């Protein structure tokens, strides 16, 4: 469970929070040592592995006078988070499926029910996201978090079930560049508490 030397990897489960954009502007990052509040909605806790991927291969260039590369550039890059959320309500599922809360219908019954359509639609909703770990800091048993100012739930979220596990919904969240952020932080930032 520790993240002290020699363990270099972040461990444990995470909690996922999302917030809708306000007039196209990302929700501000909350402090690393607090529970996100205001417009932030907790989607729940992850189960199993979480993957943080910084994608973007380099393209190398050479010239006629040298046998090795003389320059390298990264023509495109992505930042993606992959995880499985468990025990989601229909309201929480609607966020992951990029659907509006108004898509959920209710019927007082009996029996009382809520329904969520299976069709997701053409345009995904853009959210801000915080992935918060409780013991994820590489500086000890302290909190850390990834903040992504803008992104979308990408791909095809899959429901997973097992005899010995909780029902889960696998997702991929892909960052969209937010040019309103500081240079280098257009995909967000990793913050870790040190003491």
* CATH code assigned at 169: 2.30.110
Mean pLDDT of 83-109: 85
The verdict on residue 9 lying in a domain is: no
Q: Name the domain count of the chain.
A: 1
The verdict on residue 67 lying in a domain is: yes
The verdict on residue 72 lying in a domain is: yes
- Pick the most confident of 44-48, 133-137, 174-178: 174-178
The verdict on residue 7 lying in a domain is: no
Cβ 148 vs Cβ 128: under 8 Å = yes
For 30, 140, 152, 164, the CA distances from 172, given in Å and listed in that order, are 22, 28, 8, 24
Cβ 103 vs Cβ 94: under 8 Å = yes
The verdict on residue 51 lying in a domain is: yes
Best CA proximity match to 146, nearest among 131, 126, 128: 131
Instruction: Tell whether the model's pLDDT for residue 4 goes beyond 60.
Output: no
The verdict on residue 8 lying in a domain is: no
Instruction: Tell whether the model's pLDDT for residue 132 goes beyond 60.
Output: yes
Distance CA 175, CA 154 (A): 9
Mean pLDDT of 174-178: 95
Cβ 41 vs Cβ 17: under 8 Å = yes
The verdict on residue 2 lying in a domain is: no
Domain membership of residue 71 as a residue range: 14-192
63-92 pLDDT per residue, tens: 999 889 999 998 888 999 998 888 888 888
More confident residue, 99 or 179: 179
Share of the chain above pLDDT 90, in %: 40
- pLDDT value for 10: 45
The verdict on residue 162 lying in a domain is: yes
């Amino acid at each position: 469970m520790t993240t002290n030397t020699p363990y270099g990897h972040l461990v444990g489960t995470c909690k996922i929070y999302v917030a809708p954009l306000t007039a196209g502007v990302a929700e501000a990052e909350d402090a690393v040592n607090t529970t996100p509040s205001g417009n932030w909605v907790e989607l729940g806790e992850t189960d199993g592995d979480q993957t943080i991927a910084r994608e973007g291969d380099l393209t190398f260039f050479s010239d006629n006078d040298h046998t090795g590369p003389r320059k390298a550039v990264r023509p495109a890059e992505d930042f993606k988070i992959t995880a499985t959320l468990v025990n989601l309500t229909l309201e929480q599922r609607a966020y992951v499926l990029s659907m509006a809360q108004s898509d959920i219908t209710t019927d007082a019954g009996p029996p009382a029910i809520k329904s969520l359509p299976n069709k997701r639609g053409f345009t995904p909703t853009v959210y801000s996201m915080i992935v918060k770990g409780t013991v994820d800091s590489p500086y000890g048993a302290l909190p850390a978090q990834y903040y992504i100012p803008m992104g979308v739930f990408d791909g095809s979220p899959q429901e997973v079930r097992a005899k010995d596990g909780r029902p889960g919904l696998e997702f991929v969240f892909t960052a969209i560049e937010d040019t309103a952020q500081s240079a280098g932080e257009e995909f967000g930032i990793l913050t870790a508490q040190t003491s």
